[in-house]
Amino acid sequence: MAVVPSRAVIDAIIGAGHRDPFAVLGMHADGPDGTLVVRSFQPGADAVAVIDAGSGKTVTVLDRIDDAGFFARVLGRRKKTFHYRLRVSRGDRSEVVEDPYRFPPLLSELDLHLFAEGTHLHLYKKLGAHPLQIDAVDGVGFAVWAPNAQRVAVVGDFNGWDGRLHPMRLRHDCGIWELFIPGLASGHIYKYEIKGPHGQLLPLRSDPFGAHAELRPDTASVIEATGGFAWGDQQWMAGRGARNARNAPISIYEVHLGSWRRVPGEGERFLSYRELAAQLIPYVEEMGFTHLQLMPINEHPFDGSWGYQPVGLFAPSSRFGSPEDFQYFVDCCHRAGIGLLIDWVPGHFPADSHGLAQFDGTHLYEHADPRQGFHPDWNTLIYNYGRREVSNFLRSNAHFWFDRYHVDGLRVDAVASMLYLDYSREEGQWIANPEGGNENLEAIEFLRRANEEIYREHPGAFTVAEESTAWPGVSRPTSSGGLGFGYKWNMGWMNDTLQYMARDPVHRCHHHNEMTFGLVYAFDENFVLPLSHDEVVHGKRSLLGRMPGDDWQQFANLRAYFGFMWTHPGKKLLFMGGEFAQGQEWNHDASLDWHLLDVHWHAGVQRLVRDLNRVYRGTPALYQRDCEPQGFAWLDYADAGNSIFAYLRFGAEGSAPVAAVSNFTPVPRRGYRLGVPAAGFYREIINTDAAVYGGSDTGNSGGLHAEAVPWQGQPHSLLITLPPLATLIFASQPQAGAG
């Protein structure tokens, strides 16, 4: 290139249209006989001088080539490149700055190769905005994938949002644009200015890999330094595998951070991550839950989406504080012995103009055909899982949350919508796979690969699928044809049992199978029993509101149901508010109704859930064989006339079995005989009708001795009083002198 480029090149630079600014700007051996030339575009500058960074001396003053601010000049006879700076003068002010166009490429050839083949597990460390140092110069490196763009520039509060000032370098092999901007640091806000394949200027885009974002309604990404947090959870991380295993007690408290509790004296504002650490974590610990699950905390523009339409997959929502604040929250969870799961949404994304939709002017992240790329239920877009770069983007995001934030698990949202090409579609609205079926083969491969990588790279971590169909092997290893999840939500159990509980007790005898059918398939998967947020919104009423009868019966029904749930095979999940029987549906715009705890019935349900968690965690028979048929045996599943269910739970060999019995009518049953496997004293460890829970206090005086009367297939039995609308749990006690 000549010392002074052609008019067309200059116009392209000053008009923000040049595709390869590094070929023009900066230092080049383009002078006579290979001498060095420096070119710079500095709008509004009166003069630009080249300074030797080593000596501080002026090497030359550049010539003004165009009044718009294009400067260039040969550096005498110099042929060897050197570290230089630019002194830019505007009026009576001048400043010495580093030239972004003198720095080398950011991504290595290995990075580009791994990205191109879709195997860069730590892509989030390369793409996005990262404070770093090059040649002893501090600044921020930016990298973004936009292969079909004609031009990409970084704009922000540091350059007046002027897309002419920081155009990026295109790495042609893979479509990544990159730029190191010296002098920048954490706290600056930025976006990408992109010209599409036809030269059209697109709406400014947030960074798909942005680590932080502005508080909505603003949508810019925020430069954020990472890696400086001092973690204190080493002991937890080393031993978490045992806490997340199939034979461990797992009782999950699901929370929406924006509405768990608010600050009434300050305009009902959200609690921050640090305030939540001080209030939510001790509450979860006191209530005896083993794990906390957060509804999506990824940055999202619309509160009413509850986070399920995320734009910033790599950014903890700024509604509650900074990324470091969230790290603090996770660390506090682990120090308190609580595991943390977050909702992960790889199934779809919103069409917001600052997000991923037609990111570079083409259907880059989503399918172009709406029969594959548009989700009719949520008016969102569906990822193109068959594109290596898109799959890599999502899988890297999963690794990001485990690596940077030490989360223990991902609950993967809406898996069924990913698995089926005809999900929520009528005939003619979907495209069959190459084999003619309705299975989304690309999504299946994505999920399997993601699970394989997560379990390989993050010891002790686990994944949970929200999958509502009979897809086989969701929580089975990929090596045996499964999807590779650790657990699956048991949506069938939830739907059947809630339907049963909503019935008037007089009609329950005709629907007995709604409570028993779940045991037909209870061990086909590693199940979590979910009473989630989805069950207390959109007119479904609260859990308490679903229960029939007067006030007393509603609370008794709910207590009995919780007793049934906590003794049923499967890990437990309860959405916030359910633990104290909130009467209203969940409202994401308001705090839970904590004042209800002043009412003894609500306080009683809360105490019951706390005690159920305590008993569950302390009784191996209730959790060790949750996922094995050897952990359960019916005593009586056929007593439909009395709406009674009785069964045994077993732990590992040598542990004491537990007997549970539920009465779902308001009629007390005195002289009910319950079979037990051995002689001895059986302590009544839970009675959901106890007075301390708000019940009538009908029971068995703390326990009974077994009689040598065979019953229900067992060699011994207890003659018990079965309270109305209640669940009892009996645990055998070692006999005196035994052992």
Q: Calculate the dihedral angle through the C-alpha atoms of 482, 293, 576, 253, rounding to the nearest 10 degrees.
A: 80
The one catalytic residue in 254, 343, 413, 636 is 413
CA angle 148, 152, 153 (to 5 degrees): 175
What is the spatial distance between Cα 545 and Cα 528, in angstroms, rounded to a whole number? 23
Separation CA 167–CA 53 (nearest Å) = 24
3-state helix, strand, coil in the chain (%, to 5): 30, 25, 45
479 sits in the region (left: phi over 0; alpha: psi -120 to 50; else beta) called alpha
Distance from chain centroid for Cα 411: 7
The size of the chain, in residues, is: 739
The answer to whether the bond into 217 is cis (omega within 30° of 0) is yes
Which one from 99, 111, 224, 466 is the annotated catalytic residue? Answer: 466
Quickly count: other Cβ atoms within 10 Å of residue 90's Cβ. Answer: 13
Residue 163: closest CA among 148, 175, 177, 176:
177
Task: Please state whether 225 falls in left (phi above 0), alpha (psi between -120 and 50) or beta.
Answer: beta
Please give, one letter per residue, the 3-state secondary structure of 125-169: HCCEEEEEEECCEEEEEEEEECCCCCEEEEEECCCCCCCCCCECE
3-state secondary structure (DSSP) of residue 658 = strand
Burial class of residue 15, CB neighbours in 10 A (0-12, 13-18, 19+): exposed
Neighbours of 7 (CB within 10 A): 9
For residues 372 and 585, give the distance between their C-alpha atoms in angstroms, rounded to a whole number. 34
Residue type, 397: N
Which pairing describes strands 84-90 and 93-97: parallel, antiparallel, or unpaired? antiparallel
> 466 an active-site residue?
yes
What contacts 662, CB < 8 A, 6 or more positions away?
A: 560, 563, 564, 644, 645, 646, 726, 727, 728
**The token pair that represents 126 in the structure block:** 């390369």
Are the beta carbons of 259 and 247 closer than 8 angstroms?
no
Tell me, yes or no, if 628 is annotated catalytic. no
The Cα–Cα gap between 700 and 681 comes to 12
- Using CA atoms, how far residue 567 sits from 205, 263, 648, 698, in Å, is 50, 36, 9, 20
Amino acid 183 reads G
Positive or negative torsion for Cα 225, 230, 235, 236? negative
Pairing of strands 128-134, 137-145: antiparallel
Provide the strand spans (E) within 146-267.
151-156, 169-171, 176-182, 189-195, 221-222, 251-255, 262-263
Residues involved in catalysis: 413, 466
